[in-house]
Amino acid sequence: MTAHTDNLLRPSPCGANSPPIMVVNGWLTGLELAVFKRLARQEFCSDTHRRQYRSKGEALCQDLRHHDILNPVAEERQGPVLYEVGVPLISPITVARSEVPPDIKGRLQLFMRPAAGAFLLQWAITWVVIVGSIWCAEYLHRPWATLLAIFIVAARQNLLALLMHEQTHWLASRSKWAEYFCELLIAYPLLVTLEGYRRVHLSHHSGYFTDNDPDYVRKQGRVWTFPQQPAYFFSELLRDLCGLSVWKTLKSKAVSESTSLVKAGFYPPRWLRPAFFAALILGLTLTHMWKIYLIYWLLPLLTIMQLFIKWGAISEHKYNLVHPSVEESSPLIELRWWERLLFPNLNFTLHIYHHWYPTIPASRLPEVHKLFRKAGLVDDRYVFHGYGAYLRSLVILKP
């Protein structure tokens, strides 16, 4: 059997009574993709097959790949070429967004407003932790204290990036001063710009998993295809930890106005960014703080922070899918208390709600989740309890 086999019929992973899977001229057809999407929606699987669909679906993928049918998967339209089509996630939310009960929709309306107070409080706490960690490390003057401070700073740099994401949606404030505040005190220190990231991220929302979604187009290939062999998975994370992905990450955080679906709506003067870095260089020189800056800011930003960025992206979406819904491509992860302490992420693991209701600040997403739980709209079988549970779904474990 070869990749050029015409009209090859395969049994569905759900059994003989389910639609067959067809490969025409070596490429997966829309019928197969529909089968995988229906698997996630549980439209025709029996209870037994539904529980086992992941392993059977993966076995099917392995079989097709073995015969050079699945790898790579090409689409007729112009756009990203998927390394391998994955199996959609089963939605932990038991209703579609349009089917959310009116009483819950009414309560959600109360959350849809900027939260300047929560934003400023989180920003202030983050900088207090950063400064305090650096001061303690310098006071103790021990290698372990320095390493611990570098980790804590990187985790808080990631938190600052997520605060920038909040203002990308104007969830701190719609005022021009809030834009400049975020630009000067969050984005520039992280070597990015608010307006560049806004164009990328809002295009991701508007063109979700299409050719117009910069994140979807960029996050293809083997590194974004799951599950993976553990050795490959951790080797890629090691590359990020060593700073080998910094340039690619920085380039991905900005697109031009002419190529994005969404306009930034914020255009600071061109001299502002050079002036910021000129002032930074002058300040570090006059205060003799270059060592502090390089060790405790730039080093974690270029290394451990990149690891946080990669893990955050993996935890937000499963990218090797074709035209999935938000629920089929976004895991719902409930973090343990110690995970929230070590890896603060502004509730980003409740990512389905963010895409359903992008005008709700991240600080209120746990309340949204509680509303859905209380109404019986969350199927706990398909919720990942902690990063460990989600990690186990990403790697191929030997039996």
- Among 66, 54, 317, 38, residue whose Cα is nearest residue 204: 317
Q: How confident is the model at residue 260 (pLDDT cuts 50, 70, 90)?
A: confident
349/333 Cα distance (integer angstroms): 5
H or E segment at 94?
Answer: none
Q: What band does 263 get if pLDDT is binned at 50, 70 and 90?
A: confident
How many residues does the structure list for the chain?
399
CA distance 193 to 157: 14
- In the structure, what pLDDT confidence band is assigned to residue 5 with cuts at 50, 70 and 90? very low
Q: What is the mean pLDDT of residues 136-142?
A: 96
pLDDT of 75 above 60: no
Cis peptide before 72 (omega within 30 of 0): yes
Among left, alpha and beta (phi > 0; psi -120 to 50; other), residue 17 is alpha
Report the amino acid identity of residue 225: T
Give the Cβ contact number of residue 202 at 10 Å.
19
- Comparing 30-34, 106-110, 342-346, the range with the smallest average pLDDT is 30-34
The strand pairing partners of 238, in sequence order, are none
Structure-token pair, residue 323: 């035209």
Residues 149, 133: Cα–Cα separation, whole Å = 5
Residue 256 near residue 312 (C-beta atoms within 8 A): no
pTM, two decimals, is 0.80
How far is Cα 300 from Cα 296, in angstroms, rounded to an integer?
7
Q: Does position 72 have pLDDT exceeding 50, yes or no?
A: no
Say if residue 17's pLDDT is above 70. no
